[in-house]
Amino acid sequence: GQQLNQSPQSMFIQEGEDVSMNCTSSSIFNTWLWYKQEPGEGPVLLIALYKAGELTSNGRLTAQFGITRKDSFLNISASIPSDVGIYFCAGQRYGGSQGNLIFGKGTKLSVKP
Amino acid sequence: DTGVSQDPRHKITKRGQNVTFRCDPISEHNRLYWYRQTLGQGPEFLTYFQNEAQLEKSRLLSDRFSAERPKGSFSTLEIQRTEQGDSAMYLCASSTSNTEAFFGQGTRLTVV
């Protein structure tokens, strides 16, 4: 099935560093979502974006809905060890149903204390 | 716990056997979704219910797969004649018409 292009695939950073990851698509999306998944668990919603250009924060996390509606990025500031996990972008394609989310392959984040 | 609940958490089955998974959504959520996630990949959409009506099915949902939500509350996903390629995490999510999807912890299926 179709998946979004998410990069980087993995990141190894030092505690306290900032992190940036992004997601691109060839299709226009109505909604961009960012999820975090830990081993053996389901994805947990971090941030939802609904309008082109929208910039939304959730604590140390900031995400933006690209102006072209074909991309989004997620920033994590001052990373801490509990930020470790896999971060997925997901989008609802223009003309698609609400429940049919397209996911990226994920960015695996490792944080060294 | 008022989150999405899935049962079992893990299932090991022999190839050719049938398996059934259950999902209990968040109680006020009228929409329920099934996704499949293989190792190293993001979740992939399988099917979607609004109340008891199955409104959308992915091409990934072969004829060996069937999902039901008979009373608009819990849902079951059955896989008949399992194959090794069915090994994956099966995720259930639920939402209202105005909220984003909240996922359960998933059922990890291993076909041996």
- Kindly report, residue by residue over A35-58, the tens digit of the pLDDT: 999 998 999 999 999 999 999 999
pLDDT at B103 (0 to 100): 95
Q: How far is CA A62 from CA A21, A33, B34, B109, in A?
A: 11, 12, 28, 35
pLDDT of residue B99: 81
Give the model confidence (pLDDT) of B17-74 as tens digits. 999 999 999 998 999 999 999 999 999 999 999 999 999 899 888 899 999 999 889 9
| Alpha-carbon gap, residue B72 to A86, rounded angstroms | 32
Question: What is the Cα–Cα distance from B21 to B8, expressed in whole angstroms?
Answer: 7
Token output for B92 = 């259930």
Residue-level pLDDT at B93: 96
Report the pLDDT averaged over residues A52-79: 96
Tell me the C-alpha to C-alpha distance, in Å, between residue A87 and each of A58, A67, B5, B77. 15, 22, 22, 26
How far B18 CA sits from the closest chain A CA (Å)?
23
d(Cα B62, Cα A73) in Å, to the nearest integer?
Answer: 34
Decide if A97 touches B, using CB distance below 8 A: yes
User: With contacts defined as CB-CB under 8 Å, which chain B residues touch A41?
Assistant: 105-106
CA–CA separation, A105 vs A89, rounded Å?
8
The reported pLDDT for the residue numbered B97 is 83
The answer for A 30-89 residues in CB contact with B (under 8 A) is: 31, 33, 35, 40-45, 48, 88
Helix (H) or strand (E) holding A26: none
CB contact under 8 A, B41 and A105: yes
Is the minimum CB–CB distance between B44 and chain A shorter than 8 Å? Answer: yes
Eight-state DSSP code of residue B92:
E
Q: Is the pLDDT assigned to residue B98 strictly greater than 90?
A: no
The pLDDT of residue A97 is above 80: no
Nearest to B33 by CA among A86, A33, A108, A109: A33
Average per-residue pLDDT for chain A:
92
- Pick from A103, A105, A107, A108 the residue to mutate for testing the B interface (most B CBs within 10 Å): A103
User: How much is the average pLDDT of A1-12?
Assistant: 86
